[in-house]
Structure formats: structure tokens, C-alpha cells
């Protein structure tokens, strides 16, 4: 903090002096405060100097009273200033962590090598690692001493090697160097040949920036119990609580008053009574699916039945594909439709289990809907048109869209030490509007290279970030494409129009809805009775379902 | 010399008296010296004007932190050897008088900041009347006459003591 008059600028002093003169004149108007007077020299100037100093100190203190002001100041504040504010909320700024890994040190002789503490190893990019203890690499190390490393014959049959544990000097994700990354040593030694990363390093994380902290803080300081939308989101993500922060991309909490909340209307009047919460947890970026090998039972000629238990794929959303066990399944969907290309025709019949045993309140009369996409859901897949099939049993490969760790999240909110005793929390996989995209971009005359893969990645990233919103529009997609150096997107009239967007989603009753056109508007398919509202649906796209063609004008 | 008049000093702006004066024998001008008296008094009127002028005249320009333009070059010229001859002394004094007058008149005009100033406290002119060097004692004596807008005048002698090495 400012503690010297030497830091006061002329401008600040002038402002302070004007104020002191004004204040004195208003209080004691018969004092002559002009320059050259004794009062000016002995009273006004010292008072103005100290006033300016205190004004500076106050400004410094005010600038550190909020994280937002620190961020707007444009200079990185001290950790002390940030943590002083955070201590009021028992939150810590994430300081990052140092990556660690093993360096494969290749040496020419099978002998003892000593690597002293303080030795540093640096990559070509300038990332430095070090060792904090002295290691001895020898052909026959003592098994009980972790500081003795075995020297082993290398694959080339000529040299030898040992694996040296190192840690990055500075925290940061860039310390997670790839396997094979070369290092130079700060101090070489006789017999040294080379040093490379034995495998990808891990554990490196960047320190949290002030902007990231400001974004995280509302969730971090929300009340630490499952009582509000913000606190539910915060608790699930918090490393000190749910710990699902790395997997949860978006969370939608459907509770009292929300159209898609059906479970709090279990009364004769069908009136919402509260006390029930459905948590739609998007724990994936692009659509995630599991591949199971399941045995099908022949139920009629060319038709098999496959049972999906509640534990096979908890809360699965939809069937992506069913194929023979040894068959390859296409990475792409049929544009605007399920299942994936190459899949058998499948009828997906949902059911539920353990409704009578669970503590969660679900209406058995509406069990199919109310258990949809939860850990209580089961299914029977009827696989049709299996050619040449007459065996009683047949192995199939089944791909199901899931929300990873759904069962873990449900288990967490069911934990007696966590759960809200006033409410019933059920975790669901979000309804996924699976998007397909075909675009034609026109490049600038003379341009040869267009970053198609970059566009695909950017589009996938954008669409997979659209969770629990009412629509996805072509203008959003076009805006993403124009981040790349293209002339235009072919938005001309049919049939030459170079933009097609489709979406397919399945509601809790099993009805499949298809959307297409310049706007995928979820309001067209809203059906709260089947858990279809903007609060329950996310947009998602697999990069394989983005088709980009490049043309000239 | 002050013209005989009756002045009402009620409601005047005041300063703290810092410039003491003694009548030297056989002169009509007061000899000034800077000192706070044991019983501190306030000063107004032409005496305050003379005090302001003297303070400004004797302040080395650039010496005041945050007011680098306040003061005159009088001392700088003396230190650079102006006292070697009376001609240079006169030039230095006249230039310093100009600096001091500019500074004082600038503030006198700022009535919205400092308040109204009666004519007998507003400096109209400052004239170097006489000057002499007592080489043996290292004293430079400067006689100055200040005139106010009201027509009054105030003549005084500033003794400037040299530092003997």
C-alpha cells in the first residue's frame, strides 16, 4: 500500500489542495490561503499532501474490496488480496498443480549414476522440471530405498536406462508433456546419452485466473445443501462435496412449478405440492454412449429380444445401434434419424424396476414416464429382421446413449449425509436432441486451404455447449463458421441450398420427434407430460455427423 | 512609507505574522527579518502584502514540492555569482521582483478560489529603490518599495546574509 509522498502525483496533489482550500474557506473564510502566505505554507500544503496520500491508500483499499474491481483494474492482483476476500466465504483460489512424470534417462554404461537434488531438466519449449532429492541409479539397487533406481538394459542392446521421477518447477497444465518429449539436463554427467518422457506426464493444472474465480464464485458460495438450483449445481460440482465438477457440463434442476415436474402431483387434484426435484445432469460433451455385448433370445423368426437391466447402462437415453457382436457400427447416424447407419431395426420398450423398494416417489401408474432416464429404468430391445437367424441365442453389440456417472450422481444425492430430508431428488439423463449438420462453405477466390477440421471441431464445440436452451438456429452456426476465413456459407434457395440442420429426440414415452430447417425449435415438441421441455433437453452432436463441403464462388 | 489613512480591518483575511521589522537609524525604511514572535500575531493589510511578497521573493523556484513554479531565481543567481558586482545584483533582483509580482497577481485574480481582496492588499507594483553590498560582513541589502492598488506604499530593506565559508 502507498506509504510515501513520493508516489503522489502533481494532479492528485492539486486536487487535494483545491479541496483543502475549499474546505478551509467554507469553515474559516477570513484566512488568506494564497501562495506566499504563512498559512499556505504551514497549513494548506502539508494537509493537502497527507490528504492526497490517504486518498491513494483509500483507492488502493477500495480496488481490492471486490474481485470484480480487481478484474476491471486490468492488473493481476496479489494472491493475498484475493484470498482476503475469499476467506469471507471459506473458498480458496485454485492455485494450480505441478505435473509429474518419469523421465527415461538413457546412459551408455551399466554403472552407478548419482543425480543430485536441484538437477533440472528442460524441454525444448522451455518447461522445466526438477528433482528435490538425490537419486542413485545403479544396476542392483536396494529394494527398500526408493531413492535408488534400477539401471536396466535398453531395447537397443547397447545402452542402458533408468526412470527418473521429476516434477515441474512451476504449476500449470503445460507441464503435462507428451511421451517421448526430449529434455536437456542442467548438469550433464559422464555416460549420459539422452532423456525423454517415459509416458505422458500428469497432474499439471493451471492456476485459476481471477475471471475464472469470479465465474465460479456464485456457485462456490451458495448454500452448501441441496436446497436451490444454484446450490445443487454447486454441491455436485464442488471438489469438497460431489466432486463431479470435471464431468458435469450443465445441470438443470426441475422442481416445484416446473412443467416437466410430474412427481409432485401425486394427489387426487393433480396439483403440484413441491418436495420433488429432478436433476438433469449433462455429464458429457458430445453424445456419449456405451457399447455392451448382450445375448439376445429368439422370440420369433428373425426377431430377438435383449434385456437391458438397470445396471447395464443406468438411465440410458436411447439406443444408438444394435448389430451383430462382430460387426462394426458406423460412427455416423442416419441424417436426422436414429439408429446409427448399419444398425438393425430396433424397438425400444422401456420399463422400470424396484419402484416399490425405492425411497423415491414414483407413480406406478405412470412409472414408465416417471422412471424414464433414471437408474430405475430398464428396457427390452426387440431386434427385428435379423437375417438367417434361427439360433435360440445370439450375441449382439448394443450401443446406448448415456450420461456417464449418472448412477454415481444419484448415489451421492441419496447419501443420507447429503440428501435433503425435505425433498426427493431423482437424477436423470437429459433428453438429447441429436443434431446432424450439412453445410457448404464458399472459399475466397484463390484460397486453397480451408480448415475443415477446425470448423468441424468449432461447430461440435458450440453445439455441444448448448444445454437447456429453447432453440438452435442457423444464424448461430453461420456465425461459428465465419470465425474462419471463408467467403460465405451457401444459404441459397433449395435445391442448391448448402445448409441443412436436423435434430432427432426421443421423449419419455418412446415417441421420436424430428426437427429440421433453419431453426431447431424445441418449443415445437414441448410435451411436459413426456418430460419434454427446454429445461430437460440438450443439443448434442458427434463430429462425425457434421458434413462440410468446400466450393468456389 | 505608509500614507496616513484610517483603514477598517474588520472582515479582512488574515495571515500569521512572520515578518518582523525594526526601524534602522537614519532611514525611513523598515529593516525586515523573518521570525515568529514569542506572542504570535496575525497580520493583514499592507503588512500582509509585504509578507507575501517577501516570502515569494525569497523562495527558490523549484524548491516547493508540488508547486515547482512558485518562487524566484534570486537565490540561484546569487549562488551563481551575481553578487560579484552590483550590476548583476540589480539584474537578479529586478528579475526576481518580476517573478514574485506575477505569482502574487495571479493568485490575487483568483477571487473565486481565495475570496475578494481589498485594493490596499493588492499588489500593483514593486520597485527596487536601492541596494548595497557590505563585503566585510557579507550582507547584501536590498531596498524595495511596494505599491498597492489603493495607492498606498510600503518600503522595506531586505538584508540578505551571505554564508561565510
Confidence of residue A141 (pLDDT cuts 50, 70, 90): confident
**CA A403, A404, A407, A411 torsion: positive or negative?**
negative
Q: Give the mutation candidate from A4, A26, A38 for the B interface (greatest B CB count, under 10 A).
A: A38
pLDDT in tens, A247-279: 899 999 999 989 999 998 888 888 888 889 999
Give CA–CA dist A344/A321, Å, rounded: 7
Kindly report the nearest CA distance between residue B26 and chain A, in angstroms: 30
- Residue A342 confidence (pLDDT): 79
Q: Is the pLDDT of residue B40 over 80?
A: no
Give CA–CA dist B41/B131, Å, rounded: 30
Confidence of residue B2 (pLDDT cuts 50, 70, 90): very low
pLDDT in tens, A328-381: 777 777 766 777 877 898 999 999 988 888 889 998 889 999 999 999 999 999
Confidence of residue A227 (pLDDT cuts 50, 70, 90): confident
Average pLDDT over residues A19-33: 94
Residue A462 CB coordination number (10 Å): 18
CA A497 to chain CA centroid, Å, is 35
Confidence of residue A211 (pLDDT cuts 50, 70, 90): confident
What is the value of pTM for the model shown? 0.52
Residues in chain A with CB shorter than 8 Å from the CB of B19 are none
Give CA–CA dist A71/A312, Å, rounded: 47
- Could you please report the per-residue DSSP string of B50-70? HHHHHHHHHSBTT-STT-TT-
CA angle A402, A352, A249 (to 5 degrees): 25
B96 — alpha (psi -120 to 50), left (phi > 0) or beta? alpha
- Residue A222 confidence (pLDDT): 60
Average pLDDT over residues A128-135: 92
Residues in chain A with CB shorter than 8 Å from the CB of B35 are none
Confidence of residue A408 (pLDDT cuts 50, 70, 90): very high
- Residue A170 confidence (pLDDT): 92
Q: What letter does residue A234 receive in the DSSP assignment?
A: H
Cβ contacts of residue B109 below 8 Å, gap of 6+? Answer: none
ipTM of model: 0.86
Pairing of strands A192-197, A100-107: antiparallel
Question: Which member of A10, A25, A39 has the closest CB to residue B16?
Answer: A39
Give CA–CA dist A397/A57, Å, rounded: 70
Say whether residue A46 is in contact with chain B using an 8 A CB cutoff: no
- Residue B4 confidence (pLDDT): 40
Query: How many residues does this entry show for chain A?
Result: 553
pLDDT in tens, B64-119: 989 999 999 998 888 887 767 778 888 889 999 999 999 999 999 999 999 999 99
Confidence of residue B29 (pLDDT cuts 50, 70, 90): low
Give the mean pLDDT of chain B. Answer: 81
When mean pLDDT is compared across A301-310, A453-462, A490-499, B148-157, the lowest value belongs to A490-499
Question: Do residue A49 and residue B66 have CB atoms under 8 angstroms apart?
Answer: yes
Average pLDDT over residues A196-225: 77
- Residue B25 confidence (pLDDT): 45
Instruction: With both helix axes pointing from N to C terminus, report the angle between A474-481 and A452-463 in degrees, rounded to the nearest 10.
Output: 140
Strand ranges for chain B from DSSP E: 15-16, 19-23, 30-34, 42-43, 123-134, 139-148, 153-161
Q: Is the pLDDT of residue A69 over 60?
A: yes
B37 compared with A29, residue with greater pLDDT = A29
pLDDT in tens, A454-472: 888 889 989 998 999 989 9
Q: Give the mutation candidate from B34, B57, B66, B101 for the A interface (greatest A CB count, under 10 A).
A: B66
Kindly report the nearest CA distance between residue A27 and chain B, in angstroms: 13
Give the mean pLDDT of chain A. Answer: 88
**CA B53, B59, B60, B61 torsion: positive or negative?**
negative
| DSSP 3-state of A469 | coil
- Residue/partner pairs of B68-76 with CB below 8 Å, 24 or more apart: B69/B103, B70/A35, B70/A36, B70/B103, B71/B99, B71/B103, B72/B96, B72/B97, B72/B99, B72/B100, B73/B99
When mean pLDDT is compared across A150-164, A335-349, A425-439, the lowest value belongs to A335-349
Q: Is the pLDDT of residue B38 over 80?
A: no
Question: Do residue B114 and residue A30 have CB atoms under 8 angstroms apart?
Answer: no
Give CA–CA dist B10/A149, Å, rounded: 97
Please name the residue of chain A whose CA is at the shortest distance from the CA of residue B67. Answer: A10
Amino acid at each position: 500500500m502507498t506509504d510515501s509522498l513520493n508516489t503522489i502525483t502533481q494532479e492528485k496533489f492539486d486536487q487535494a489542495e483545491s479541496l483543502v482550500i475549499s474546505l478551509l474557506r467554507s469553515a474559516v473564510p477570513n484566512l488568506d490561503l494564497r501562495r506566499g502566505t504563512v498559512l499556505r505554507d504551514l497549513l494548506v500544503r502539508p494537509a493537502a499532501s497527507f490528504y492526497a496520500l490517504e486518498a491513494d491508500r483509500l483507492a488502493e483499499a477500495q480496488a481490492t474490496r471486490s474481485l470484480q474491481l480487481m478484474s476491471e483494474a486490468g492488473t493481476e492482483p496479489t494472491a493475498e488480496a484475493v484470498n482476503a476476500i475469499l476467506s469471507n466465504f471459506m473458498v480458496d483460489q485454485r492455485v494450480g498443480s505441478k505435473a509429474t512424470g518419469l523421465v527415461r534417462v538413457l546412459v551408455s554404461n551399466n554403472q552407478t549414476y548419482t543425480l543430485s537434488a536441484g538437477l533440472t531438466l528442460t524441454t525444448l519449449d522451455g518447461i522445466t522440471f526438477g528433482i528435490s532429492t538425490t537419486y542413485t541409479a545403479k544396476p542392483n539397487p536396494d529394494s527398500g530405498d526408493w531413492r535408488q533406481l534400477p539401471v536396466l538394459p535398453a531395447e537397443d542392446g547397447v545402452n542402458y536406462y533408468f526412470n527418473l521421477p521429476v516434477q515441474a518447477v512451476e504449476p500449470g497444465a503445460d507441464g503435462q508433456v507428451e511421451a517421448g518429449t526430449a529434455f536437456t539436463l542442467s548438469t550433464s554427467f559422464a555416460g549420459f546419452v539422452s532423456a525423454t518422457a517415459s509416458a505422458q506426464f500428469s497432474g499439471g493444472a493451471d492456476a485459476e485466473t481471477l475471471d475464472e474465480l469470479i465465474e465460479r464464485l456464485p456457485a462456490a458460495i451458495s448454500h452448501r445443501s441441496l436446497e436451490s438450483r444454484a446450490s445443487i449445481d454447486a454441491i455436485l460440482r464442488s471438489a469438497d462435496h460431489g466432486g463431479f465438477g470435471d464431468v458435469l457440463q450443465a445441470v438443470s434442476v426441475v422442481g416445484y412449478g416446473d412443467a416437466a415436474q410430474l412427481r409432485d402431483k401425486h394427489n387426487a387434484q393433480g396439483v403440484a405440492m413441491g418436495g420433488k426435484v429432478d436433476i438433469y445432469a449433462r455429464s458429457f460433451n458430445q453424445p456419449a454412449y456405451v457399447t455392451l455385448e448382450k445375448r439376445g433370445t429368439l422370440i420369433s423368426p428373425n426377431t430377438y429380444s435383449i434385456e437391458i437391466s438397470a445396471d447395464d447402462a443406468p438411465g440410458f437415453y436411447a439406443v444408438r445401434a444394435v448389430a451383430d457382436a462382430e460387426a462394426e457400427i458406423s460412427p455416423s447416424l442416419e441424417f436426422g434419424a436414429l439408429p446409427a447407419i448399419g444398425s438393425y431395426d430396433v424397438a425400444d420398450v422401456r420399463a422400470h424396476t424396484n419402484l416399490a423398494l425405492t425411497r423415491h416417489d414414483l407413480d406406478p401408474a405412470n412409472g414408465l414416464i416417471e422412471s424414464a432416464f433414471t437408474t430405475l429404468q430398464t428396457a427390452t430391445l426387440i431386434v427385428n429382421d435379423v437375417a438367417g437367424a434361427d439360433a435360440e441365442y445370439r450375441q449382439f453389440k448394443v450401443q446406448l446413449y448415456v450420461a456417464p456417472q449418472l448412477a454415481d450422481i444419484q448415489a451421492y444425492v441419496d447419501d443420507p449425509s447429503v440428501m435433503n430430508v425435505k425433498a426427493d431428488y431423482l437424477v436423470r439423463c437429459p433428453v438429447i436432441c441429436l443434431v446432424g449438420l450439412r453445410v457448404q462453405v464458399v472459399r475466397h477466390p484463390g484460397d486453397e486451404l480451408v480448415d475443415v477440421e477446425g470448423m468441424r471441431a468449432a461447430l461440435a464445440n458450440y453445439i455441444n455447449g448448448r444445454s437447456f436452451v429453447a432453440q438452435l438456429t442457423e444464424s448461430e452456426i453461420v456465425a461459428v463458421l465465419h470465425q474462419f476465413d471463408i467467403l460465405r456459407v451457401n444459404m441459397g434457395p433449395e435445391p442448391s441450398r448448402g445448409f441443412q440442420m436436423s435434430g432427432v429426440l426421443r421423449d419419455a414415452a418412446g415417441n421420436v420427434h424430428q426437427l429440421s430447417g433453419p431453426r431447431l425449435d424445441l418449443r415445437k415438441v414441448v410435451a411436459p407430460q413426456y418430460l419434454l421441455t427446454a429445461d430437460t433437453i440438450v443439443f448434442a452432436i458427434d463430429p462425425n455427423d457434421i458434413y462440410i463441403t468446400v466450393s468456389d464462388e | 512609507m505608509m500614507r496616513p489613512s484610517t483603514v477598517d480591518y474588520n472582515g479582512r483575511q488574515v495571515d500569521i505574522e512572520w515578518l518582523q521589522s525594526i526601524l534602522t537609524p537614519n532611514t525611513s525604511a523598515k529593516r525586515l527579518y523573518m521570525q515568529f514572535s514569542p506572542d504570535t500575531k496575525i497580520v493583514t493589510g499592507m503588512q500582509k502584502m509585504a509578507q507575501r511578497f517577501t516570502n515569494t521573493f525569497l523562495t527558490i523556484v523549484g524548491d516547493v514540492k508540488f508547486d515547482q513554479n512558485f518562487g524566484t531565481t534570486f537565490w540561484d543567481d546569487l549562488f551563481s555569482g551575481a553578487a560579484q558586482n552590483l550590476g548583476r545584483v540589480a539584474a537578479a533582483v529586478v528579475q526576481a521582483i518580476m517573478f514574485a509580482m506575477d505569482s502574487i497577481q495571479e493568485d490575487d485574480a483568483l477571487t473565486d478560489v481565495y475570496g475578494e481582496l481589498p485594493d490596499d492588499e493588492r499588489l500593483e507594483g514593486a520597485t527596487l529603490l536601492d541596494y548595497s553590498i557590505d563585503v566585510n560582513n557579507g550582507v547584501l541589502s536590498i531596498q524595495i518599495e511596494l505599491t498597492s492598488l489603493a495607492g498606498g506604499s510600503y518600503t522595506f530593506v531586505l538584508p540578505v546574509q551571505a554564508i561565510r565559508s
